[in-house]
Structure 1
Amino acid sequence: MSTPLTGPASASPTDQRQALLESLLRAGGRSARTSDTIPRAPRDRPLPLSSAQQRIWLVESLRPGTTEYVVPVGWELRGPLDVAALRAALAQVVARHEVLRTRYLAVGDEVIQLVLPTDELDFETVNLCELPADARATRLDELVERQARTPFDLGGRGPLRVRLVRFTAEHHALVLMVHHIAFDGWSIGVLAAELGALYPAFADGRADPLPELPVQYADFAAWQREAHSGTALSSQLDYWLEKLAGSTALELATDRPRPAAFDPAGATLSFTVPAEIAEPLIAWGRSRGATPFMVLLAAFKLLLSQHAGRTDVTVGAPVAGRARAEVRDLLGFFVNTLVLRTDLSGEPTFEEVVDRVRETALGAYAHQDVPFERLVDELAPARDLSRNPLFQTMFSLLDSDTTAEFSGAGVRATALTTPWHSAKFDLMLQLTQQSDGSLSGVVEYATALFERESMAVLAEHFTTLLGVVARDPKAVVTGTSLLSQRERGLLERWNETSVAYPQGEVLHALVERQAARTPAAVAVRFEEQQLGYRELDARAEQLARRLRAAGVGPETVVAVCLHRGLELPVALLAVLKAGGAYLPLDPGYPAQRLGYMLDDSAAPVVLSTTELAATLPPHRAQVLLVDEEATTAETPAGAGATARVDPLHAAYIIYTSGSTGRPKAVVTPHEGIVNRLRWMQDTYGLTGTDHVLHKTPYSFDVSVWELFWPLTTGATLVVARPDGHGDPEYLARTISRHEITALHFVPAMLRAFLTALPPGTPLEPLRLVLCSGEALPDDLAAAFHRHLATGRVQLHNLYGPTEASIDVTATACPPGEHVTIGTPVANTRVHVLDRDFAPQPVNVPGQLALAGVQLARGYLGRPALTAERFVPDPDPRHPGCRLYLTGDLARRNPDGTVTYLGRSDHQVKLHGHRIELGEVETALREHPLVADAAAAVQGDPGQERLTAHLVPAGPGAVPDPADLRAWMRRLLPEHMVPSAWATLARLPLTPNGKLDRRLLPLVEPDGGAREFVEPRSEGERTVASAWREVLGVERVGAHDNFFDLGGHSLLAGRITLRLRGTTGREVPVRALFDHSTVAELAAALPGYPELSTAVALPLPGTRRLRR
């Protein structure tokens, strides 16, 4: 039970603050002048914030109610406690340190410190004596967490709260919540030292024994502002601008999608590095002139490099910021953060990495006077509320004697471990050197991004890495260096997928056996037509005779050009029965592409209709028409002999986009697709009552299981109309009308389907939705479960390339869980490999490689490409087997699932279509008005689009977008035609002359830039005026973007302060991030609440405090 010993703050401090504020505003005046010592700043004028405080205030403004800067500090007190003396000691600490009785107020377009002459200590006692001993710790944890979740009002109350928890007469816990704006890690030691002097003195009835402080934090802040003004830091600033130029965010693979705004909820994980590893490594470092900090930071950077898959690694490191003697005994936020960037390229040895990190650290120390906040302003990184600017990971090393304890008057205070942790970065590694030579480690991490299991893996990898480099500092560190024996065993176990399916099966035989089992059941339905299994098999056999008569047998390529309809499954089954391999020719493809496929495949036979055959480009193949009766010449005697088909014979050939600018043909044998269908049936279990919708164009591999899975299990195949796969309303009607129970969606189409789905649309008896073709975002999976909240319909995510018989991994997607691509299907193996084809550890990205029975034979007529992508499996347990190198980036998760991370080359997935950007670029460059071109996929998740960036062939040679689209449609399928265009003088290049795709500008769908528009309303004029004054630009238009004009986060704070004064509304700092143009912000202004009279106090005559 809580017993408050002090009530709410009385009116007296509020009156004092108001009077002092008004006197300061009247006084104005200059800041303190720079000197060799920090002078006392006059208290009769506004006092500025320090650089560090200014950024904290800004973050608080951007995230109202945030508690990420609430710092819990605590001691366990043993002995007979004099509560009055303790309270008096704490009150004296507040009296000694102005920073604990300071308020932070917005004045005009600045923020100032307001130091109150006195302040009442927020002190309460909580009595837990009546609780059982085992319940007290739990209640204490709850109290700490509750207090840590309670934000501070920096303008209204002090930055300190004290709670004294009583367990027994001689056992207490002293818990302080301090705001980071007034406190840092060094301050804990200062506070402990002062309490250690003040408490025994007051308990014994003695006076304050501490000397007067020479300066206060506000003096330091004023001195810093003056000392850092003008060109005082220009040489140091130049160093940092050069060192950090072009630095980008370190993208560690996360367990959850990064939220739009950083979530400070955090947790910690502790681990130990044994002395037998730490001591020799640190001793070796000292022999090379490297401090323990440098050696351990080098190892941490190597760890991050492996986990992020990049060699440009930037880490933050704190420095105390108390080099000046005057401030060493002050409470306050003095810490500065150094941004340590190291290039780890070139496969350096560990000792070379240590040398590089040593050089980086020494350079940073020599230029540490530049506040981190100043660097952010000068470098102006792209605004991103989801992460810390310039670096996302922090590293620190502490000595073992840094624990702040005190004792006196019979009481001993030892540090209290608090359960509450807030994360200020993605993750922070803190190491402490122990007296026994070991290192104790703590990983603090953002729980919105990472699971505890992933942090445990990180700690294990770090310890393993230290052991490797301690044994051999000349070692080149790779992902394998992080692999423990435990992990090697896990990787092997996760690939134990062997299932004994019947051997020697071929695809069409599965359909034939099903037709024999259920001859009268409906096999295929299209619109109002249908075929039973007996009829399907008979019609396919009849067509197969014609094909055999035309010379079709094993390994013969038969091109099939048909619209979706009843004849499509008949034709494909007939090709298989004849022993051939079918090659889909999509009637919607450009004639030039169809001609290329016919020539490249050398298909001797084409199956088509009279209508479609007439549209094909010139070719040398024999055409068999499925809509005409067979002639006697087409089916001579003996044509019915059944072909002997081997499981290794080709079943189908599908063309995929090619990096050389021409598509390539993937040859899939029967054994691969049969295994795929066997696994699918074992996993999802179709019955004779199921209806499966075939809607994927049959030129894509998903169509293979859509067509043949139901036909091999006795279910009914429902064929969608030719144009139906992109029509959400048609699909909803079809699901209901034909009682569809299972179907496939590419994620982009699933999003469109859910968006167009009216509430209450009947989808019974749908039970299974399978997604593949591109990454399935978490938000889309969540939207799926919201729309189909009954839980009756299951969502599954599948992954696989055409080169591995459609899908090789799969997983269920239950509500509320992060989406992965799952685990390997039966008789397949999945590996995440480094550049040397060695296995990567858990959570370390690498190239996804596939093995097992489902691998394609290779690329038709491309032996060199086949040898490049299908390589021998180096695993000695699988002699003679192959690996397919997908070019996809992925990582293994601690639970054995795999997370897809994107492409390692220039191939992309867009709305389920695999696109080689090189093929798009080749077609663009063939246009006579285009000298060079680059393609990219841009846009927000779920709204991505293919864009083209063009360099004209000469002055005035700018191609018309409509002409370009027509040109591209003659060469490429519709999904490979860019939807947005931009013209550039030249393409952006990397220093080594390669295309730098990261610097390609964002292209809007209309491809054009907006012309200048004068502000049109009073609101727009108000916003534009504020921007002109703060940004120092002459002209601001209605569509101008704040950040494009040079705005940044701190200027956003000044803008909103100015707008509050001119509009009388509570405009949050976040407004500039949510509404970045003049027109958007002006339109949003009326929606913000009016300022209260206390906040909207007129402040005339206030001088701007210059930085």
Structure 2
Amino acid sequence: MQFSELMAVLSTLAIRLQRDGEDLLVQGDDEALDDALWDSLIQHKAQLLQQVSEQGGHWLSPAFRITPDMLPLVSLEQPAIDRIVAGVPGGAANVQDIYPLAPLQEGMLYHYLSAPQGDPYVLQAHFAFADRQRLQAFAEALQWVIERHDILRTAIVWESLDEPLQVVLRQAPLQCEALPLDAAGGDALAQLQQRYDSRHFRLDLRQAPLLRLVHAEDPVNSRQVALLLFHHMALDHAALDVVRQEIQACLLGQREQLPLPVPFRNHLAQARLGQSEERHAAFFREMLGDIDEPTLPFGLGDVQGATGRIEEHRLPLDRQLSQRLRSQARQLGVSVASLMHLALGRVLGQLSGREAVVFGTVLLGRMEVGEGGERALGMFINTLPLRVDVGAQSVRAGVLATHARLSALLAHEHASLALAQRCSAVSAPTPLFSAMLNYRHSHRADGDQVQELVPGIQVLGAQERTNYPLTVNIDDLGEDLQITALVDASLGAERISGYLLTTLESLALALQANPEAPLYSLEMLPASERRYLLQGLNTPLGQYPDSPLIHQQVEAQARVQPEAPALLFQAQRLSYGELNRRANQVAHRLLALGVRADQRVAICVERGLEMIIGLLGILKAGGAYVPIDPAYPRERIAYTLEDSAPVALLVQADTQALVADLRVPLIDLDSRTLAHESPDNPDVPGLTPANLAYVIYTSGSTGLPKGVMVEHRNVARLFSATRDWFDFNWRDVWALFHSFAFDFSVWEIWGALIHGGQLLVVPQVVSRSPQACYALLCEARVSILNQTPSAFRSLIAAQDQSGLKHSLRQVIFGGEALEPGMLKPWYARLENVGTQLVNMYGITETTVHVTYRPLQAADAQWVGSSPIGRRIPDLQLYVLDARREPLPTGVVGELYV
């Protein structure tokens, strides 16, 4: 058979010829390849090799069709193969292989399909060229590298398929694009970076190669600048280094010195032959089975890179610290990577408030690639969860345990992240973790400096991106170590780098001096930040008077404006002069009973004028009032009386039966006999601001109610320290809305009376009706209203149903957490524009209020937390962990006052 006749026969058969060195590889239908045809193929081998070489190393007959048996790594039926091939430029002749995605590629595709725009896995490498000729030479060298490596000629397909696949093309031309830039737009490279920012730019994964070269003139620097855009699907950090080296070899005429490329399909084949899913699952169940909460530093849980700007900070470790860490790792028989993972675990434990920490660690995935694996291109790395326990175990034990877990994890480096998460008690879609560590061996630290690839071509560095809000890369440079933090800009990358550096310094010191110290003792906060949290944030902002005593301030108002209205209850009114005289009569009766300074006097009365008269009278006698709400259950009333042990008790006819068992003197505030007592201010010598003013009992939500003893000076300083914020004055009308056994009433009652304002005592029945309450507030022209958020929600609804206009100047929230979104209807009404809403947080033990936060309409968009604002200036606030150590700003902890 002549050669021309052989080619004619081959053209009618589904045959593929490929050159492999001096060998000719023949692929096709076994039935068509009979003995006679084989003899002809052998006879014309030399001509066939030449023909195939002229076709780029392979020849495909027009009748060739890719069939399922030709794709050993994937199970596909013929119609699916035909659909895939139909979408490939050049058809079957341009398809080299089809196989599944690696585990991390699957995760990247998920993020790609989920994100509405952008793609955090589009990365950049930056280059500069002396002229267009060098740029052209670089592009040609890159195209040659693309032709060498299957992964660089790969496209991703998923539509109408049971599983996503990668299709390796034989020819995939590199797209090069020249961009005109605005001469007034600033730095040329910066303009390119902005235009191709991965927050809004993405590569089409269905088009090979997953690389693009974009370039522009840089007239300011007399050069060309370019971005090599590439997808993490195709290249990991190690593979990018190989691409640079092969481009360099090509430009230097050293192509023949490069080893044969290692196909990415080898990695896929080995990965599929590795550990079974059952073994993977057993390993991760043992490690993660009891993890029922995610590790989310600062509460950040977006792991798709959809929100927030990522900030980068590089921090080289000083050589002495690097050497100490290496020496200690050798002594313990562990890797430096183990120390880094433990240190980051300690940091994340502090930032998330957990002792069993989980974060992602990057595994190289090259162990099973075989010979030359270190030079293979592709997405070999995989991110898998690592658990690090950072509680009470010793530092030494923590290092060894972390090393053991890392070593065991290597056997499962090809498991999928989805499988690992399913083995925890954290249910999808909640992420198991939102932080990641990548420990990598590097020849140099990317981005440190400009490097010359060949004369006239410079590598300007590479831009790193991450879909996690907190990523730490550790570059092991052989002798030195470098931290690169890629962190949500709202947190600050330099800040996170500092935390890890401080922890590493503390870890090195502990391993040297005290390896049995508990892990939680490792310092994370830099000394400067610790000082700032403990001292800088709590610098005294001035001196605030803690005197005179409460009743003395009311007496001063009675002297200055005796006829001014002080109390209003239903149709009853009392002036300051009348209030002072009647309170004096109660005080003289108590003094006659032998009441002395700091002794407790209980008062159990209904809402009304007598309640305020009784409270003020107790203070004037030098006693401390213990308010008992008649509406409380009998058991609570009995407990309060027994625990507080009052020396006397103020009652009314209607409440006397509630306290009948108490064996102490009773004073009936309804009794006319009080009128026989002196109306003059009593003289009680020796009283000071340090004397007790009241004892109010907590709700008992965490156990039995606790009596909180508060001195006069605490009340005095509360109002003096907040005076500039509120400007309370004699024109204000306050509403006493709350029970006098609730400490919010301290603010309501004495806020009105020591400033010379008027106090409206809201009847009990009115306080329970939002409509009646709103009408009363409008009628009485109340200007200062104190509310729990839940009560104010009802008032907002009542306003909507009422045609009345209020006179509110300030509405002050307290008593429970505020959900700002509930205020949207309030801010939507024009008649509320003149009212300042204020959120204040406080606890009974610290005298009503601790913080101050004036609210604005924009705050109604606040979601997920309650803004409590800044401290009252004479107080100190600390956010501490379970061991009473300060926590960084933004971390959840216990608030200490």
Q: What TM-score do the two structures reach when normalised by structure 2?
A: 0.78
Q: What SS does structure 2 have at the residue aligned with 1:195?
A: helix
Q: What SS does structure 1 have at the residue aligned with 2:808?
A: coil
Work out whether residues 784 and 811 of structure 2, in 8 Å CA contact, stay in contact via their aligned partners in 1. Answer: yes
1:408-430 deviation digits (Å, cap 9, x = unpaired): 66432313354xx6542231222
Shift of 1:672: 1.5
Structure 1 match to 2:282: 238
Shift of 1:391: 5.7
Structure 1 match to 2:764: 722
Structure 2 match to 1:685: 727
Q: Report the CA distance shift for 1:844/1:159 in structure 2 as closer, same or farther (over 3 A).
A: same
Structure 2 match to 1:803: 845
Shift of 1:725: 5.0
Segment of structure 1 superposing worse, 479-488 or 683-692: 479-488
Shift of 1:734: 4.9
Code of the aligned partner of 2:383: T
Determine which of 276, 294, 319 is the counterpart of 1:275.
319
The answer to whether residue 340 in structure 2 is matched with residue 296 in structure 1 is yes
Q: Report the CA distance shift for 1:312/1:257 in structure 2 as closer, same or farther (over 3 A).
A: closer
The answer to whether residue 698 in structure 2 is matched with residue 698 in structure 1 is no
Work out whether residues 544 and 874 of structure 2, in 8 Å CA contact, stay in contact via their aligned partners in 1. Answer: no
Q: What SS does structure 2 have at the residue aligned with 1:313?
A: strand
Distance 2:263 2:809 in 1: 72
The answer to whether residue 629 in structure 2 is matched with residue 577 in structure 1 is no
Shift of 1:192: 1.7
Work out whether residues 277 and 466 of structure 1, in 8 Å CA contact, stay in contact via their aligned partners in 2. Answer: no
Q: Report the CA distance shift for 1:540/1:480 in structure 2 as closer, same or farther (over 3 A).
A: farther
Distance 2:642 2:717 in 1: 31
Distance 1:112 1:544 in 2: 89
Structure 1 match to 2:695: 653
Work out whether residues 103 and 155 of structure 1, in 8 Å CA contact, stay in contact via their aligned partners in 2. Answer: yes
Alignment of 1:469-488 (within 5 A): 469=510, 472=513, 474=515, 476=518, 481-482=523-524, 484-487=526-529
The answer to whether residue 556 in structure 2 is matched with residue 508 in structure 1 is no
Code of the aligned partner of 1:382: S
1:422-452 deviation digits (Å, cap 9, x = unpaired): 54223122222457x554322212346x356
Shift of 1:584: 1.9
1:218-237 deviation digits (Å, cap 9, x = unpaired): x654664x436xx7353343
Distance 2:207 2:745 in 1: 65
Shift of 1:512: 1.4
Q: Report the CA distance shift for 1:236/1:148 in structure 2 as closer, same or farther (over 3 A).
A: closer
Determine which of 119, 123, 142 is the counterpart of 2:176.
123
Shift of 1:545: 3.4
Q: Report the CA distance shift for 1:207/1:744 in structure 2 as closer, same or farther (over 3 A).
A: same
Unaligned runs of 5+ residues in structure 1 are: 1-19, 35-40, 851-1107
The answer to whether residue 690 in structure 2 is matched with residue 643 in structure 1 is no
Q: Report the CA distance shift for 1:572/1:154 in structure 2 as closer, same or farther (over 3 A).
A: farther
Alignment of 1:617-632 (within 5 A): 618-626=661-669, 628-631=670-673
Code of the aligned partner of 2:307: D
Alignment of 1:305-384 (within 5 A): 305-323=349-367, 324-325=369-370, 328-348=374-394, 350-379=395-424, 381-384=426-429
Distance 1:561 1:249 in 2: 47
Distance 2:295 2:260 in 1: 48
Code of the aligned partner of 1:414: V
Code of the aligned partner of 1:215: P
Code of the aligned partner of 1:643: V
Shift of 1:704: 0.6
Shift of 1:500: 3.6
Structure 2 match to 1:564: 607
Q: What SS does structure 1 have at the residue aligned with 2:635?
A: helix
The answer to whether residue 765 in structure 2 is matched with residue 743 in structure 1 is no
Work out whether residues 264 and 423 of structure 1, in 8 Å CA contact, stay in contact via their aligned partners in 2. Answer: no
Alignment of 1:157-556 (within 5 A): 159-168=210-219, 171-198=223-250, 213-217=261-265, 220-221=267-268, 224=271, 226-227=272-273, 232-249=276-293, 251=295, 254=298, 263=307, 265-323=309-367, 324-325=369-370, 328-348=374-394, 350-379=395-424, 381-385=426-430, 388-390=431-433, 392-401=435-444, 403=446, 410-418=455-463, 422-434=465-477, 438-447=480-489, 450-451=491-492, 455=496, 458=499, 461-462=502-503, 465=506, 468-469=509-510, 472=513, 474=515, 476=518, 481-482=523-524, 484-487=526-529, 489-490=531-532, 491-497=534-540, 499-502=542-545, 505-527=548-570, 529-556=572-599
Shift of 1:606: 3.2
The answer to whether residue 119 in structure 2 is matched with residue 67 in structure 1 is yes
Shift of 1:708: 0.7
Unaligned runs of 5+ residues in structure 2 are: 1-61, 76-84, 86-91
Q: What TM-score do the two structures reach when normalised by structure 1?
A: 0.64
Determine which of 131, 145, 159 is the counterpart of 1:106.
159
Work out whether residues 549 and 636 of structure 1, in 8 Å CA contact, stay in contact via their aligned partners in 2. Answer: no
Work out whether residues 605 and 628 of structure 2, in 8 Å CA contact, stay in contact via their aligned partners in 1. Answer: yes
Code of the aligned partner of 1:162: L
Shift of 1:652: 1.0
Q: How high is the sequence identity, in percent, across the aligned residues?
A: 23
Q: Report the CA distance shift for 1:558/1:848 in structure 2 as closer, same or farther (over 3 A).
A: same
Work out whether residues 500 and 524 of structure 2, in 8 Å CA contact, stay in contact via their aligned partners in 1. Answer: no
Shift of 1:579: 2.2
Q: What SS does structure 2 have at the residue aligned with 1:673?
A: helix
Bigger Rg over Cα: 2
Shift of 1:577: 1.8
Q: What SS does structure 2 have at the residue aligned with 1:254?
A: helix
Segment of structure 1 superposing worse, 360-369 or 645-654: 360-369
Shift of 1:585: 1.6
Q: What SS does structure 2 have at the residue aligned with 1:536?
A: helix
1:598-618 deviation digits (Å, cap 9, x = unpaired): 222223433333334345574
1:837-864 deviation digits (Å, cap 9, x = unpaired): 66667667665443xxxxxxxxxxxxxx
Structure 1 match to 2:59: none
Code of the aligned partner of 1:664: K
Code of the aligned partner of 1:196: Q
The answer to whether residue 656 in structure 2 is matched with residue 608 in structure 1 is no
Structure 2 match to 1:676: 718
